[in-house]
């Protein structure tokens, strides 16, 4: 059975084949047209839908807020959520709260994490809360630790002939200023804050992964790859991206819960809803169309998507006639790649 993909995205970073079509914000029509074409395979009852949230780069409080929103959206509309992570980590503020949310949410809908390259520090704090973590053989996880760096540029200021004179109220207001050396008191306060965050980090990962906090601390914020990550209890499966999605599709096809029964892609419920919508809004001639360039770009991108689907179908068609579970992938509208 050919894979069934559903795209609905306006990402901040655009895939090459989708850039033009995304000028109008939707690739549903191209996908539905492919499904409705003669000889195309219609998704079977074994098909499921998973919402994919892609996380790239360093994370900030605003990143966590957007993730929170997308988790709610995907949990309401999909049978599973996939966190596709490649991140060195991020800020402490907001991270533990989001990890708690993922941990609670996985009791209602399965949440999977796929790591193809890196998932460190704050990124791993989020991944650890998922139902299952897939790790590529050469990818790394871990760095379960907290760090803060104070830069003392007073020597540089002096060489530049610049002198800063702070005027403040409150004894600790000027602590950790980059224009002066770190005082013993400021150092003690900062270390206490780091230790508190580290303890929370280790306790959170221990709860999420079902291991002892002492074992988490024994990693000493190290990075683990492949089998070493499994032995440390940080991941569940060593698998390529393709194998991970196949495993998720198989897991969901076996599910008998009410959530799984409602995961059939909405597009399959009607014949060609997006095609009808586009057909009704497409002018008959270019002279009547003020957005001719956008329409033309969308057609070219749709053709590229169909070509990509043909390529995927040739490499993924089973050799036997037994039904193979497929996974419909949904990417949330508005944000895809998070920085």
What is the structure's pLDDT at 306?
Answer: 59
What is the structure's pLDDT at 79?
Answer: 87
Distance CA 128, CA 4 (A): 29
What is the structure's pLDDT at 39?
Answer: 43
Report mean pLDDT in 10-residue bins for the chain, 339 residues: 37 39 41 40 47 93 94 89 95 96 95 95 96 95 95 93 94 93 93 95 96 95 95 95 90 62 36 37 42 59 57 51 52 40
Which residues touch 249 (CB under 8 Å, ≥6 apart)?
48, 325, 326, 327
Rg (CA), the chain: 25
Residues 267/35, Cβ–Cβ less than 8 Å: yes
Distance CA 133, CA 118 (A): 12
Which residues touch 55 (CB under 8 Å, ≥6 apart)?
63, 67, 83, 84, 85, 86, 87, 123, 126, 337, 338
Distance CA 267, CA 82 (A): 20
Taking only the tens place, the pLDDT of each residue in 221-247 is 999 999 999 999 999 999 999 999 989
Q: Which structure tokens are listed for 264?
A: 């059939």
What is the structure's pLDDT at 48?
Answer: 60
């Amino acid at each position: 059975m050919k894979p069934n993909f559903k795209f609905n995205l306006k990402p901040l970073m655009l895939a090459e084949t989708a850039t033009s079509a995304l000028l109008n914000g939707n690739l549903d029509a191209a996908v539905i047209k492919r499904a409705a074409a003669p000889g195309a395979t219609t998704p079977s009852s074994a098909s499921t839908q998973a919402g994919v949230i892609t996380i790239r780069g360093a994370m900030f409080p605003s990143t966590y807020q957007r993730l929170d929103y997308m988790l709610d959206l995907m949990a309401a509309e999909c049978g599973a959520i996939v966190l596709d992570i490649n991140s060195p980590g991020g800020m402490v503020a907001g991270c533990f709260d989001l990890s708690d949310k993922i941990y609670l949410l996985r009791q209602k809908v399965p949440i999977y994490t796929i790591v193809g390259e890196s998932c460190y520090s704050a990124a791993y704090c989020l991944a650890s809360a998922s139902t299952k973590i897939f790790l590529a053989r050469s990818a790394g996880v871990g760095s379960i630790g907290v760090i803060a760096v104070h830069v003392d540029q007073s020597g540089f200021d002096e060489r530049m002939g610049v002198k800063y004179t702070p005027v403040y109220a409150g004894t600790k207001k000027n602590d950790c200023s980059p224009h002066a050396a770190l005082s013993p008191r400021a150092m003690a306060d900062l270390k206490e804050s780091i230790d508190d965050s580290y303890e929370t980090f280790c306790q959170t990962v221990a709860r999420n992964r079902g291991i002892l906090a002492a074992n988490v601390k024994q990693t000493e914020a190290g990075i683990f790859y492949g089998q070493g990550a499994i032995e440390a209890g940080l991941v569940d499966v060593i698998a390529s991206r393709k194998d991970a999605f196949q495993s998720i599709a198989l897991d969901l096809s076996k599910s008998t819960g009410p959530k799984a029964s409602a995961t059939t892609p909405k597009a399959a419920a009607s014949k060609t809803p997006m095609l009808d919508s586009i057909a009704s809004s497409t002018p008959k001639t270019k002279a009547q169309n003020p957005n001719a360039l956008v329409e033309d770009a969308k057609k070219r991108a749709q053709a590229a998507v169909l070509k990509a689907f043909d390529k995927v179908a040739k490499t993924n068609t089973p050799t036997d006639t037994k039904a193979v579970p497929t996974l419909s992938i949904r990417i949330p509208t508005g944000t895809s790649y998070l920085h």
